[in-house]
Chains A and B, each alone.
Chain A
Amino acid sequence: MIAELGHFALILALLLALLQSSVPLIGAARRNYAWMTLGRSTAVAQFVLVAAAFAALIHAYVTSDFSVQNVFENSHSDKPLLYKITGVWGNHEGSMMLWVFILSLFGAAVAWFGDNLPPALSARVLAVQGMIGTGFLGFILLTSDPFHRLVPAPLDGRGLNPVLQDPGLAFHPPFLYLGYVGFSVAFSFAVAALIEGRVDAAWARWVRPWTLAAWCALTIGIAMGSWWAYYTLGWGGWWFWDPVENASFMPWLVGTALLHSAIVVEKRDALKSWTILLAILTFSLSLVGTFLVRSGVLTSVHAFAVDPRRGLYILLLLLVAIGGSLSLYAWRAPALKAGGLFAPISREGALVLNNLLLTVAAAAIFWGTLYPLFSDQLGGPKLTVGAPFFDIVFRWLLAPLLVAVAVGPLLAWKRGDLLAALQRLWAALAAAVVVGLVGLYIAGGGPILAVLTLALAGWMALGALSEWAERVRLFRASLAESGRRARHLPRAQYGMTLAHLGLAVTLAGIAASAWQDERIEIMNPGDDVPIAGYTLHLNSVDKVQGPNFTAERADVTVRKGDSVVAEMHPEKRFFPLQQMSTGVTAIKTNLLADLYLALGDSDGKGGWTVRAWWKPLVPWIWIGAVMMALGGVVSLSDRRLRLGVAARARVPRGARAAE
């Protein structure tokens, strides 16, 4: 009954979405206030309905209602409750429900928090959101109905892939989708602006919080996915340039460019058409990612079940959404009034460089990911474009950008003094040299690329701090004066410093992976293996019973010198339902390095293959990502973003230009 109600709710939501796509748009053109504000009511109502449908699906999983086909295919009565719930989005149909749930949530949020938006803009934005909703609700109802019933109902389900039964699964997709789908708001704003024919600083001000929120979520989503792969897959890798990973990374890169580009529109009324294009491209890349995962045109560890029919529908959706918005762009963007001029060496110039490099990097990843498809379809050889290609190309594109990250914020708007900026970065340069030398010494001359990357991280970190020091006149004015300035710096300023610092931290973590220590040995109980100054002692390997698995559990004592540092328990689990084994790694971290253990096969004679790694600075990869997201959150909390137009009218232009 509940499943049928859920299904019905979806149908109603689709009807509302159709209404929302049309009426407010016409209302905005005809200046009919009632029709314009209808968008806000339908957005909220749509959210309520989709939330109800989502709740209905979760209910079916929690109560293990196997008459619902989706539950039968992906759940089992023995599964722990947490995974019954998170399993809802571990499959195609359920994850699409999560998608539209978040889409409707953002639509409702724009309706709730959009009081300061002019009615016409609000109407158009919600109309575009409505169109996207129509597309996806239609997709679900026509091809991916999660409420399909099985008659007669089976006694039990097929269970969830053991690799996915993990706390990380609970958070990775929701954050990822908050990011992907969140960018739909920026997209809607961009299309609305094109329809209106106007992009100005106010528009950029309104778009920024939504873009920031989506960007923060996507940052966390990608970082979680990477961390989850790291501790689940058992060989310590954390990024594989898998097509679906790339599909999440491209929107992030272009979204970062969008964030920075919107600043220029806001502060200098320039780069308008580029920012609009970036807003359209970011969400377009999210849509392309959705297509790649669910259509089966690419091989990937992540890909959901292959179904060309679904692929065709999404492709049509893509064509309408992306083709339509870009056609609108081609038609209307040339008419956008060009904004302020600036010299190549200036903050705007640095941000243009930022845009360029990030966008080209995303394009390069796109090219490499899809090249095998292009080559094959054009009758060329069947190729693999793997990690080595992406590593090389991405590194070379990003290195100049990372150097510039320290310099850009120190340049003035309109016309900057490069020499003066570089002079202020003497501390950053010194830090880079010191870090490089220290790295060289510790690593014993290690790979030069890794040392340079570490030095680059030092440059970026001290660069961010130098910029802050510059703003508070640290050591140049009295401490009290510096303190006062520091307290009055806008939060967005701190957000930027924190985010750039986070980037430096992540970079350092990535560089240090060149110096990891690895041991792969067959150990019998009682054996010792030395690694990175520690000694691993295998006490025993015992059989353990879990709720839906049996496991071999190793008991390893880790010593440094004579003192015991940790007891670690890597496992190998066997799930009888799926006839599948997975490993559970044991990781001991002190936030500066990880000791990583994985249990392999038995050799049948009482010995076990044990793989151990000592990975210096690897936690920094994710700590840095969290810092970046936190920087975004801090920026979001900046009062100025919420005051919007009203505040702007009160403050004279001249005073603001000094920022």
Chain B
Amino acid sequence: MRRALYLLPVLLVAALFVFFRMALRADYDPHAVPSPLIDQPMPAFDLAGTDKRLSGDTLKGEVALVNFFASWCVPCRVEHPLLMRLAEEQHVPIYGIALKDKPQDTERYVAQMGNPYRRIGLDENGHVGIDFGITGVPETFVIDKSGHIRRHYGAPLTAEELRNDLEPLLRELARS
């Protein structure tokens, strides 16, 4: 019994080593904040828009993307061409929500860069963003036909993500 007690420290260290080894795997990101909203109904919102109002009802009945962006956001500009491509090729409606942005700046942004959005909502105080649990821009949500959130991309979309994850998901959701 006494002997076993002396072994305790080594055993604990061995267990610790296993955890650390697992944590060092390339796919572990201690910064990543997982969303509790997956598979939940999309938060209700009703925003004034650049053209028409944008609310949860606008999206009803179809698979859609909700993309939070802003004119002052540099990574958004990097993501933008991908959104344009998505809008053209995939025929999936993309709804934009401009976060903490002045309406004129938002309009100038889409005039300059191109408009992939079917409609743009203006979330000037950022409350809708918080309702969706975003921590920055750009972030993108995939909403299914019943209005539930199926995926949350907490970072700018990449071509790889598009190919390997988003497009298959859109196909699957379109079928259901």
Contacts and interface: CB of A to CB of B under 8 A. Distances in A.
B74 interface: no
Interface stretch (A70-78, A327-335, A491-499, A634-642): A327-335
A387 interface: no
Contacts of B33: 382
Nearest to A292: B20
A370 B24 CA distance: 14
B52 interface: no
A382 B34 CA distance: 7
B19 A373 contact: yes
A299 B33 CA distance: 12
A330 B10 contact: yes
Contacts of A297: 20, 23-24, 28, 30
Contact of B10 (A295, A318, A326, A372): A326
Consensus secondary structure, chain B interface: helix
A327 B17 contact: no
Interface stretch (B1-9, B57-65, B102-110, B122-130): B1-9
B30 A334 contact: no
B73 interface: no
Contact of A318 (B17, B23, B31, B34): B17
8 contacts: A298-B30, A308-B25, A308-B26, A323-B14, A330-B7, A370-B19, A376-B28, A377-B28
Contacts of A330: 3, 6-7, 9-10
A322 B10 CA distance: 8
Consensus secondary structure, chain A interface: helix
B13 interface: yes
Contacts of B2: 334
A48 to B, nearest CB: 35
B21 interface: yes
A291 B13 CA distance: 14
B22 interface: yes
Contacts of B34: 381-382
Interface of A: 273, 277, 281, 284, 291, 295-299, 308, 311-312, 315, 318-319, 322-323, 326-327, 329-330, 333-334, 370, 372-374, 376-377, 381-382
Nearest first, the 9 closest Cβ-Cβ pairs linking A and B are: A297-B23, A326-B10, A330-B6, A326-B9, A330-B7, A308-B24, A311-B24, A299-B30, A377-B22
Interface in B9-59: 9-10, 13-14, 17, 19-26, 28, 30-34
Nearest to A382: B34
B3 A334 contact: yes
B30 A296 contact: yes
Nearest to B6: A330
A333 B6 contact: yes
B49 to A, nearest CB: 29
B19 A312 contact: no
A330 B28 CA distance: 33
Contacts of B19: 370, 373-374, 377
B10 A327 contact: yes
Given A281-B9, A297-B24, A299-B30, 9 more contacts: A295-B23, A319-B13, A319-B17, A323-B17, A333-B6, A334-B2, A372-B30, A373-B19, A373-B23
A315 B17 contact: yes
Contact of A299 (B6, B10, B13, B31): B31
Nearest to A277: B9
Nearest to B8: A330
Contacts of B31: 299
Contacts of A277: 9
A323 B10 contact: yes
A463 to B, nearest CB: 34
Given A334-B3, A374-B19, A382-B33, A315 B10 contact: no
Contacts of B24: 295, 297, 308, 311-312, 315
A613 to B, nearest CB: 29
Given A315-B20, A373-B19, A382-B34, A329 B9 contact: yes
